[in-house]
Chain A
Amino acid sequence: MDTVSMILAAAVRSGTPILYATLGEILTEKVGILNLGLEGIMLMGAFSGFVVSLTSGNPWIGFAAAFIVGCLMGLIHAFLCISLNGNQVVCGLALTMFGTGLSSLLGRNYFGVAIQGLQNWNIPILSDIPIIGQVIFSQDALVYLSYILVAVMFFFLNSTRPGLNLRAVGDNPHAADAMGLPVVRIKYLYTVVGAGIVAVGGAYMSIVYNKFWAETMTAGRGWIAVAMVIFAIWNPIQAALGAYLFGGIEALQLRLQATGTSVPMAILLAMPYVITLFVLVVISIRKGNGIKAGAPASLGVPFYREERD
């Protein structure tokens, strides 16, 4: 395997946890709920996924456990923000703290233990394609699952009935309500499922990427995913591009550190954030000019039906 394909393959791998988190957050934000607690949810996913994989010996059960734990975290957010109209920003921050703390407390005895994780699985024929084969089709099953998830989410959001309903709730909950959609139930559903997907991203960190558990091991990836959602303009396919771009920078960094080149890494590392900021500005300017794109109109605004001046 040549260096370029190796770096690109590593980019896909290190982009995968961010991709899962981004996809989960897209689902949540599309329904109008801002969940800034990704970091905490990912950590809880990483911890629970690791412990369950370790004890059951089956990484798949670990991922399932992480998904469920993520859903529970999402349920807290949903209850506080949807049922109790709590402030979504504060609730997200609380979720991050709670998840960080709880995963550290519960995981303190698992530090330094290693697991097998998932093996790479070369897809026959496809993996023989030069470069692409090695970069895209010589990965582990969770990476393939993320490809499928990207495609499924894109199709789901744009071409299916529940996807349409989801977008309607996020864009104009009052209209959705007037058209008879169960707004609260839909918001709950995607806040919960979205958080579950985010947690799978965390579990990928501990089960596959590192094969060990360490406290605060996601190291800010949850926050990166929050930015990635905007970078992707709420589009799953662009989310994949963004996640791999970030993964690529990370892979390059490791590579450069290994070879001892002293390029100011800070500049490279800061690039995704600078680019995201730039994308955010462009989206905002376009919105100011009346062009509506991607961004759910009711993001962060609580929905309450019987309200009058």
Chain B
Amino acid sequence: MPLVEMKRITKRFSGVVANSNVDFSVEYGEVHALLGENGAGKSTLMNILYGLYHPDSGEIYIDGVKRVFRSPSDAILSGVGMVHQHFMLVETQTVWENMILGMKMPFVLPKKQIIKKIAELSEKYNLKVNPLSNVWQLSIGEQQRAAVLQMLYRNAKVLILDEPTAVLTPQESKELFVTIRNMTALGHSVIFISHKMNEVMNETDRVTVLRKGETAGTVNTKSPDTSQELLSEMMMGRKVSFDINKPKRDLGKVVFDVNSICASNDRGGAALKNISFRIRKSEIFGVAGVAGNGQLELCEAIYGLRVAVSGYVKINEKDLTNASARALMDCGVHYIPADRRSTGMVTALDVKSNSILTDYWIPPISSGNSINWKEAGNQAKSIIEQFNVSTPSVNTAVKNLSGGNLQKLMLGRELSNSPEVLIVMHPTWGLDVSATRYIRERIISASETGTAVLLISEDIEELLALSDRLAIIFKGEFMGIIADPKSMPIEKIGLMMAGTHISEVL
């Protein structure tokens, strides 16, 4: 009898099916991975197990007993705990206050006892965090440890970890996996949500693959038949080759010159330390790194959205350090941000309004102080045609477009201005395979026509497939720039992503 068993779970959001007849089970003491592409329904399924969402149909059994979870407190009482990707911690409160949130406690809080129990748990599971710190002052790694402790404090038998390594360095991830093994040795089961196949292969016992909201199957990772190829086939539904045709191009003169840029993050700490690079005409320059190592700050500092406290940015030898975003656009620098729904687009407005977002002040869209909406409509139509955007009309609100179409629309908008420099961050994050391929091809074809591309991504495959040169960023610093990324062993790139300088790697 498995510890957790979910049977024929179905869940819809406003008519969109997130889970359809999913079966899922976890044995005692195992590490069970839940693998799937973005949007495959992994988090939804786990939020159902945790009682946050209510399934439209299906049943949940814990220890063989059927349970209906009306809220997370029901799930917690049955021994299910979950650590979300964005930790569910109250930032303004201390760690110890967060520990006991929602638990049965005496009216007046027994602070000393709570802190003592936290100390014991920290010791037992080797999760170090200061119980008296305010959560907002902790590092991401510490916050994650606090979030895990929070669940252990509640005697969780099953611990769900939603993409826990996305915010960690490889070294921190390694520590996390030691902790996870520690927990299974002490009798807990761990569900591990991921879309990284190597982690799943190395660190888990079994894996259930979800594809478009349905179960694609469950396999034993230690079985000799299981391979990354098999898993990717299960995830995508067919064999996919990531090989992309990148023709040889002649690189021209230096277009984009960034020198010794320093900038602070939102909390006032140093986010960027002396970042320097040059990109030549037609070159694709990749930047790899674990999330949160200064990638966003780099884009913003270049693009006039964050103050660069020292250094310079030059486009075609013209100094544009700390120039406004608009000045950069007028000089042919265009930026495709990672969070397309919250930064790159105004999702409540229609396709037409969005297609002029980065050139509405330039004729013919702008005439005098007015906007020529007819011209805007034509521009939207031509982007839709050239970039295969599927939308009912130019008057459809952008929020109704799929992620892939949204990204095509945004890419089309920026490329239709034939930019000198294109800064693009996580261009294929969360997209399906065909859209991913399309976007990558368009980036390459843009570089063929002379655009210098700064490609920032967490997807190492993408970076290796597209980049001519590859920089690795760690804590706001370049660990080195690799001249020929394809010839570099991937382990060495991994070491650099963990903070080793290139000179020590070679």
Contact = CB atoms under 8 A, between A and B. Distances in A.
B91 interface: yes
Interface in A214-269: none
Given A178-B82, A305-B52, A164 B100 contact: yes
B367 interface: no
Contact of B84 (A176, A178, A306): A178
B50 A159 contact: no
A223 to B, nearest CB: 27
B103 to A, nearest CB: 8
A8 to B, nearest CB: 34
A309 B341 contact: yes
B266 A290 contact: yes
Contact of A168 (B13, B75, B101, B108): B101
B91 A164 contact: no
A164 B134 CA distance: 14
B489 interface: no
A165 B108 CA distance: 12
A167 interface: yes
Interface string B74-102: 11100000101001111111000110111
A167 B92 contact: yes
Interface in B105-133: 105-109
Contacts of B88: 172, 174-175, 178-179
Interface in A273-307: 289-290, 292, 297, 305-306
Given A171-B90, A180-B72, A289 B13 contact: no
B323 to A, nearest CB: 23
Contact of B268 (A159, A171, A175, A290): A290
Contact of B53 (A162, A171, A180, A306): A306
B391 interface: no
A175 B88 CA distance: 4
B73 A292 contact: no
B13 A167 contact: no
B86 to A, nearest CB: 9
Nearest to A155: B108
Interface in A146-192: 159-162, 164-165, 167-168, 171-172, 174-182
Contacts of B52: 177-178, 305
Given A164-B97, A180-B102, A292-B92, A159 B108 contact: yes
B28 interface: no
A159 B112 CA distance: 12
Contacts of A305: 52-53
B468 to A, nearest CB: 34
A297 B134 CA distance: 15
A172 B109 contact: no
B474 to A, nearest CB: 23
Contacts of A176: 90, 101-102
A292 B106 contact: no
Among the interface residues A165, A167, A178, A306, which one has the most CB atoms of the partner chain B within 10 A?
A: A178
A161 B105 contact: yes
Prevailing SS type, chain B contact patch: loop
Interface size band for A: 20 to 34
B266 A171 contact: no
A178 B50 contact: yes
Among the interface residues B18, B53, B91, B102, which one has the most CB atoms of the partner chain A within 10 A?
A: B102
Contacts of B76: 179-180
Contact of B91 (A171, A178, A289): A171
Contacts of B73: 179-182
Contacts of A182: 71, 73
Nearest to B87: A175
A292 B97 CA distance: 16
B177 interface: no
A182 B93 CA distance: 19
Interface in B137-183: 150
A305 B89 CA distance: 16
A6 B197 CA distance: 77
Contacts of A181: 73, 101-102
A238 B459 CA distance: 52
Contact of B93 (A162, A168, A177, A180): A168
A162 B136 contact: no
A161 B136 CA distance: 21
Contact of A179 (B13, B72, B105): B72
B76 to A, nearest CB: 5
B267 interface: yes
A159 to B, nearest CB: 6
Contacts of A308: 13, 18
B91 A177 contact: no
A179 B101 contact: yes
Contacts of A171: 90-93
A160 B105 CA distance: 9
B93 to A, nearest CB: 7
Interface in B347-370: none
A164 B101 contact: yes
Given A161-B106, A171-B92, 14 more contacts: A161-B100, A165-B101, A171-B90, A171-B91, A177-B52, A178-B82, A179-B102, A179-B150, A180-B71, A180-B73, A180-B74, A182-B71, A306-B13, A309-B341
Q: Which 5 A-B pairs have the closest CB atoms?
A: A180-B73, A179-B102, A178-B88, A175-B88, A180-B102
Interface of B: 13, 18, 50-53, 71-76, 82, 84, 87-93, 97-98, 100-102, 105-109, 134, 136, 150, 266-268, 341, 399
30 contacts: A160-B108, A160-B109, A161-B100, A161-B109, A162-B107, A164-B93, A164-B97, A164-B100, A164-B101, A168-B90, A171-B91, A171-B92, A172-B88, A172-B89, A175-B87, A175-B98, A175-B101, A176-B90, A177-B52, A177-B71, A178-B52, A180-B71, A180-B72, A180-B76, A181-B101, A181-B102, A182-B71, A290-B136, A305-B53, A308-B13
